[in-house]
Structure 1
Amino acid sequence: MTASSSPLLPALLLLLIVFVDGGSGAEAKTALDQLCGSLGSYYVTPDLCASALCADPSAPCRAARDAPAVAALAARLAADNATAAKGSIEAALSLAGSAGGAASAMRSCLQLYAGAVPALRWAARSVAAGRYRGAREVLQAAQYVAAGCEGMAGDAAALPRENGRFSDMAFVAHAVVASMSRD
């Protein structure tokens, strides 16, 4: 009996194909899924990462072709979220008037965002160009903007919800960019 006529050969080939292919029943993982899954659940969970980066259903978050594209998306979204939070705080301040402790806290918070937005725009451009040094540090510092605002306001509920959204985005963006720049 030759190897080509053995009844076991087709079965072994099929088994080898299934083993190498992984069964083809699993969904193909996107670059976003892979990067979010590699951050370490003790730091940023895959769910938090994906939900922050895919919060806008019209944005093609899972279309990023590789990890650098996911990092560029994260940095851009951090800058966009900071800009939205700044605008919301400006609007809340104009409605609240200029007197009182809440207005004073919001003005101070607004100063934090006024400094953070240009730095985050620079960081987003740097990450998009593949330069992570400096951008990582900007994103790390940005994580404290929302918390600083909460501390000044004395109550997170006194601030627009965009402050909390920015907090999550800054945390995720820092984790994503830091994963790209392990010096």
Structure 2
Amino acid sequence: MAMAATSSALLLLSLFSAVVHCSGAPAAPLDQLCGSLGSFYVTPELCTSALCGADASACRSARGTPELAALATRLVAANATAAKASLESALGLAAADAEATKGMRSCLQLYTGAVPALRWAARAVAAGRYRGAREVLDAAQYVASGCAGMAGEAALPRENDRFSSMAIVAHAVVASMSTA
């Protein structure tokens, strides 16, 4: 008897979830956006983790794609600032390896140039202006890999990798806005 009741309950639960799933309830803006970025080589998982990593409530409560685009550009500017600060700190503690120090200084120069441009892009996107911001974000995608190439064997701060992921996502989000 208990087995039949359990089977009936599971069947009802399955039917209920199918009805709710097929009811046409609109997907959240985050889910819609992250699900549409595949053509920009960004998986839904990467998109969600990058946008919601620090503050899940900010990304989940966004009312639309423009708000998510503004969040993405703010986050990429903040990540660039953090990576720059980490590089400055690492250079202050750097060992006597002249080649590694030279590569890290070159990397720092990339971030020093990128930070103000990304802050500008964040302000532009927040104001609904995507022209120019897309190009800044496109260039920003290459900062982290450029740093890796210049630093060689030197250990870069983990913020360089975090910035790389966020730059890819922010570019994809803004690129999707400017083509819509």
| Band the TM-score falls in, shorter-chain normalisation | 0.7 to 0.9
What's the counterpart of residue 19 of structure 2? Answer: 23
What's the counterpart of residue 62 of structure 1? Answer: 60
What amino acid is the match of 2:19? G
Pick from 73, 76, 82: which aligns with 2:74? 76
Alignment of 1:22-171 (within 5 A): 23-25=19-21, 29-40=27-38, 43-57=41-55, 60-96=58-94, 100-155=98-153, 158-171=155-168
Q: Distance in 2 between matches of 1:137 and 1:64?
A: 24
Whether contact under 8 Å (1:123, 1:138) holds in the other structure is yes
Report the CA distance shift for 1:98/1:82 in structure 2 as closer, same or farther (over 3 A): farther
Query: What value does the CA root-mean-square deviation take over the aligned residues?
Result: 2.2
Whether contact under 8 Å (2:66, 2:128) holds in the other structure is yes
Q: Distance in 1 between matches of 2:176 and 2:78?
A: 21
What's the counterpart of residue 8 of structure 1? Answer: none
- 1:29 is displaced (CA, Å) by 2.7
TM-score (norm: length of structure 2): 0.83
Question: Which stretches in structure 2 are left out of the alignment for 5+ residues?
Answer: 1-14
What's the counterpart of residue 6 of structure 1? Answer: none
Whether contact under 8 Å (2:40, 2:172) holds in the other structure is no
TM-score (norm: length of structure 1): 0.82
Whether contact under 8 Å (1:98, 1:104) holds in the other structure is no
> As a proportion of its length, which structure holds more helix?
2
What's the counterpart of residue 174 of structure 1? Answer: 171
Report the CA distance shift for 1:59/1:100 in structure 2 as closer, same or farther (over 3 A): farther
How many aligned positions are there?
162
Deviations 1:150-169 (A, max 9, x none): 000114x6100000000000
- 1:64 is displaced (CA, Å) by 0.7
- 1:66 is displaced (CA, Å) by 0.2
Q: Distance in 2 between matches of 1:128 and 1:29?
A: 23
- Identity across aligned pairs (percent)? 69
